[in-house]
Structure 1
Amino acid sequence: MERTYESAIAFLRGRRRMTRPNPSFTISQLPIAHLPNASPTFRGTPSIEGMREWLQKLGHTDAKIDSLNIIHVAGTKGKGSTCAFVESFLRVYGERTGFPRKTGLYTSPHLIETNERIRIDFNPLPKDVFAQNVFEEQVDVAIYETHHGGQYDATNVVQHPVVTGLASIGMDHVRELGPSLENIAWHKAGIFKAGAPAFSLPQEPKVAQVLKNRAAEKGVTLKFVGVDRDLPGNLNIKTQLYNASLAREISNAFLELKHPGVSPCLTARDIADGVQRFHWPGRFQIVPEGKYSWYLDGAHNELSIGEAAVWFQQVSRQGGGDLPMRILIFAQKSDQRDSLGVLKRLSETLNLSIQHAIFTTYSDNDNGRLLEQYRQCWKEWFPWTEAWNEQTPWQAVARARELGKGEDAVHILVTGSLHLVGSVLRQLGDVLQS
């Protein structure tokens, strides 16, 4: 095969399951487990099925994977940001001490290009490097974000992570992982491995108990992490304070195990520099474009959409002066969650005036029924708001710009899906490069 970026992407896609059928697969074929309500659930084909065999065909044994020094992070909200904070802290530390010399970060989904998912020293692999070394890059630490779940997630082929971590856990991917919050917590804690210390953000009591039970079953030391009051003051978003606090604990535990003898591990300067360098596209991101300000957050479940709403009303109210026109662009299409429930949560939390709500989709197969449901519900909740349906994100952006004509300032919240945020970022590409 020719080693071009396009060939590499085609190679990967050709070996990906494009659908998740319901085969002759039963829960009894999964590793023996005791879920909280004694009714284990997992619908469809677990993504971990066949993953180890696939990796071994590529020449990647368990020992070779373990040599990457993996940090494994799961959760419902904030797991990607936590991974990015860990990478930033360890990269700054490595520049000061010589270890790690090279950091690796795997997250999903990507926003614009596939190579965003694999980053070396936080830089997405250049397309030529991706093509030449898509399976061959060696790093001193690899930070892995689960896709969803944990126990049967594709990333859980990792047998011996160095450290594991759990961000906030809430209701999401209920069709596969539910029906209860306890069930979801059980799946998330499936990344715990004997010999690897585990850390978690504070959780609801019933979730915390499941995590404690899972840790005890696996012989894992589990520590719950609160807000670190020594973090720099420029972290003014509550959820990012928690994610950075968790990342600091994970990073220090990793360094104690892999780079012992250097104390303290992360210094105050490391933390400050790591926070300063932290950047996570599509999450709490602001893109200025003349009189238009685009506020983008890929929140896609009830837990994260509330945080996005609080953030938007905080930043949109800053600066004083005349009130801006405020526009919402929302898209979500998933059979893994209650999308109307997510929109309802947004409406309940968004405590400021929205003049226009634009509902769109990123699926070519959508027949408009869901968009009309969104529009009707929004009009019921906010009858004074103009509500619009647009078939594509491109049309939604065009509508927002048209509505903003004649206004002095326009604030546009784009949320509900990382796919939506990625589509809008592609349209704002010239703005981001200028």
Structure 2
Amino acid sequence: MGSYEEAIRLLNGRREPPKANPDEMRGSDDMLPWLRLLGYSDETLNSLNAIHVAGTKGKGSTCIFIASFLRAHGQRCGYPRKIGLYTSPHMNHIRERIRINDEPISKDLFASHFFEIWEKLPREATRTLDIPRYLQLLALLAFHVFVKEGVDVGVFETHAGGKYDATNVIKTPCVTAVTSIGMDHARLLGHDIQAIARHKAGIFKSGCPAFSVLQEPMVTAEFEKQAMKEGVLLKFVDLDETLPTDAAALKPVPQRINCSLALTVSREWLRQKAPDKELTTEDIICGIKQFSWPGRFQQITDGRCQWFLDCAHNELSLPYAATWFAEAITENQDGCTYPPRILIFSHFSDRDGQTLLNSIAKALETRQVRIQHLILTTYDIRRDGQASIDRNMMNRYKPEIQSLYAQAWRLLDPATKIWEERTIEEALDRARNISTRDGMQVFVTGSIKLVSGALSLL
């Protein structure tokens, strides 16, 4: 058996540039032939009793809430005994993507199962069968791990889309769910909200109950159209008023929405698989207490220094994250005095980063919160350039983009002091240097890679 390090090297070697349009992003096309090579039939995949979740914002949190509710029920009743959870991307190490009972699989387990499938899959593409790429390989590994480890339920988060996603190969999942939909990954999924909704609704399966949070009218209409086409009973889930109001995990409004959807999905799964049992109030409270999703609405306090981190990276998520930050820092504000307020921002993608900065500024302005210092940085973590083997981050230092971001913010607030730093480590150090005896309040957002790097240092 090869080592964990060798498994990561081989996996990273399967990365490829993003596809140019949705028709080329058919990550599910060869999944069934590859699964057949691994010895898995439709019946084997159906035995995972899967829950499949798509969406633009909050699908990872929703999956975590589902797994947490089912685990709380299992701790009390003994079923489900093993909960498999597949999410992406990872925050600190790649094994976070494949969990059993909320624990990332070990390095040994990752390596052993990886090489079990690596030896059976094609190494070169043929005219009839391609080779699995990075995300496809990870999805295959998750299916393999969950089957081999005998999970009672597999909770799967899609990567980006839905219809053509590599996770969308289970013919009869128990439940499907869709979180909030917005304009994201437009280059891959389509340049209007209906096209994106159509892709996300591609996880609907005939005879399988589907749930969605409340959506804007055009998304709702597209979901209903796709549900009717597939013969799916689709229900829209509003905020659950019975959820506890004092739970720290539910303070951000988006998390209350995600939790409401997760609770409905968990109840439906239990109705199917354990009809004589149901989630109790104690299960729900326990599930919420067990909920942990680093880098999402996360606060770290070190003396008077407060770090607020959220990996929001699109126009749908960033206003919610900025509002959460504003409400958190003004909740116990003492009169008119407060420590320096700092924004650390980094974003490099095909999204319009200037528009993202503008969405942050508008949300903060609505809450009458002003940023005194803006620190622009990159995805590179340390000054010495060293990074974990799990990260595989390219050097993304683009001073010209930082300059554009600086110019954009100056138009929004000319009084803000703006700093441009080469690495995340230097950005955090800059914030510490700005700190006064009253401390500081730092909002870190704009990219999963930024928040991941900041958390590894903090």
Common fold by TM > 0.5: yes
CA displacement 1:353-404 (0-9 Å, x = unmatched): 1110111221514432211111110011010101122222222112212222
Selected match of 2:353 from 339, 357, 363: 339
Deviates more, 1:44-53 or 1:210-219: 44-53
AA at the equivalent of 2:216? E
Question: Secondary structure of the equivalent of 2:52?
Answer: strand
Q: Aligned pair in 2 of structure 1 residues 342, 96: CA closer, same or farther (>3 Å)?
A: same
Taking the aligned partners of 2:22 and 2:267, their CA distance within structure 1 comes to 35
Name the counterpart of 1:420: 450
Name the counterpart of 1:277: 290
Name the counterpart of 1:13: 12
What is the CA-CA distance between 1:43 and the residue it aligns to? 5.9
Taking the aligned partners of 1:300 and 1:175, their CA distance within structure 2 comes to 15
1:356 and 2:373 aligned:
yes
Taking the aligned partners of 1:231 and 1:160, their CA distance within structure 2 comes to 30
Name the counterpart of 1:27: none
Q: Aligned pair in 2 of structure 1 residues 389, 44: CA closer, same or farther (>3 Å)?
A: farther
What is the CA-CA distance between 1:285 and the residue it aligns to? 0.4
What is the CA-CA distance between 1:21 and the residue it aligns to? 5.2
What is the CA-CA distance between 1:414 and the residue it aligns to? 0.6
CA displacement 1:199-258 (0-9 Å, x = unmatched): 000000111000000000000000000011001112222111111110011001111111
Matches within 5 A, 1:93-242: 93-134=73-114, 135=145, 136-233=148-245, 234=247, 235-242=250-257
Q: Is the 8 A contact 1:159 1:193 kept in 2?
A: yes
Q: Is the 8 A contact 2:25 2:188 kept in 1?
A: no
AA at the equivalent of 2:270? L
1:288 and 2:318 aligned:
no
Q: Is the 8 A contact 2:63 2:157 kept in 1?
A: yes
Q: Is the 8 A contact 2:340 2:434 kept in 1?
A: no
Question: Secondary structure of the equivalent of 2:316?
Answer: helix
What is the CA-CA distance between 1:52 and the residue it aligns to? 2.7
AA at the equivalent of 1:244? C
AA at the equivalent of 2:300? V
Q: Is the 8 A contact 2:209 2:233 kept in 1?
A: yes
CA displacement 1:44-63 (0-9 Å, x = unmatched): 44322433333333333333
1:56 and 2:36 aligned:
yes
1:305 and 2:322 aligned:
no
Question: Secondary structure of the equivalent of 2:156?
Answer: strand
Taking the aligned partners of 1:72 and 1:64, their CA distance within structure 2 comes to 16
Pairs aligned (count): 404
What is the CA-CA distance between 1:278 and the residue it aligns to? 1.0
Q: Is the 8 A contact 1:103 1:141 kept in 2?
A: yes
Matches within 5 A, 1:368-407: 368-404=399-435, 406-407=436-437
Question: Secondary structure of the equivalent of 2:36?
Answer: helix
Name the counterpart of 1:75: 55
Question: Secondary structure of the equivalent of 1:91?
Answer: helix
AA at the equivalent of 1:308? A
AA at the equivalent of 2:187? R
AA at the equivalent of 1:408? D
Q: TM-score with structure 2 length normalisation? A: 0.85
Q: Is the 8 A contact 2:162 2:203 kept in 1?
A: yes
Selected match of 1:90 from 70, 88, 93: 70
Q: Is the 8 A contact 1:20 1:44 kept in 2?
A: no
CA displacement 1:26-50 (0-9 Å, x = unmatched): xxxxxxxxxxxxxxx6164432243
Q: Aligned pair in 2 of structure 1 residues 44, 389: CA closer, same or farther (>3 Å)?
A: farther
What is the CA-CA distance between 1:97 and the residue it aligns to? 1.4
Name the counterpart of 1:367: 398
Q: Is the 8 A contact 1:79 1:166 kept in 2?
A: yes
Name the counterpart of 1:32: none
Selected match of 2:328 from 315, 326, 330: 315
Q: Is the 8 A contact 2:348 2:396 kept in 1?
A: no
Question: Secondary structure of the equivalent of 1:272?
Answer: helix
1:46 and 2:76 aligned:
no
1:244 and 2:259 aligned:
yes
AA at the equivalent of 2:370? S
CA displacement 1:287-336 (0-9 Å, x = unmatched): 1223321111010111110100110001111333330211101111111x
AA at the equivalent of 2:7? A
What is the CA-CA distance between 1:104 and the residue it aligns to? 1.0
Q: TM-score with structure 1 length normalisation? A: 0.89
Deviates more, 1:95-104 or 1:210-219: 95-104
Name the counterpart of 1:35: none
Q: Is the 8 A contact 2:82 2:153 kept in 1?
A: yes
Unaligned runs of 5+ in 2: 115-144, 380-393
Q: Is the 8 A contact 1:325 1:407 kept in 2?
A: no
Identical aligned pairs, as a percentage? 47
Question: Secondary structure of the equivalent of 2:317?
Answer: helix
Q: Is the 8 A contact 1:357 1:387 kept in 2?
A: yes
Q: Is the 8 A contact 2:60 2:157 kept in 1?
A: yes
Q: Aligned pair in 2 of structure 1 residues 17, 49: CA closer, same or farther (>3 Å)?
A: farther
CA displacement 1:59-85 (0-9 Å, x = unmatched): 333332221111000111111111010
Deviates more, 1:342-351 or 1:112-121: 342-351
Matches within 5 A, 1:249-268: 249-262=264-277, 265-268=278-281
